[in-house]
Structure 1
């Protein structure tokens, strides 16, 4: 997952491996970003906790 704040560049947020065994997040997002995936439905999701003004951005799955 990546995000882009208005007028900003892309910033890496989080990663989940194809089998969900590896999950990593950008250090500032540790404990706040939860990634999951459902391969049977070709879906991935990102949930964020404790949102603040700096989290206002477009989020992209890539």
Structure 2
């Protein structure tokens, strides 16, 4: 289990709504605003095959 000292953001659970994903994660990432939990990794998708991507997740199941 991962031990952390940060507060989980609104919507941080197994199933995000589309609204929560857009407003609290993707929008903030696109405008370079900090996200309280660094869960969205920045990677070059062209360097990986689709079956390699699950091994790159920062949190959750791989």
Band of TM-score, shorter chain? under 0.3
TM-score by length of 2: 0.23
1 or 2 for the larger relative contact order (CA 8 Å, sep ≥6)? 1
TM-score by length of 1: 0.23
Structure with the higher fraction of residues in strand conformation: 1
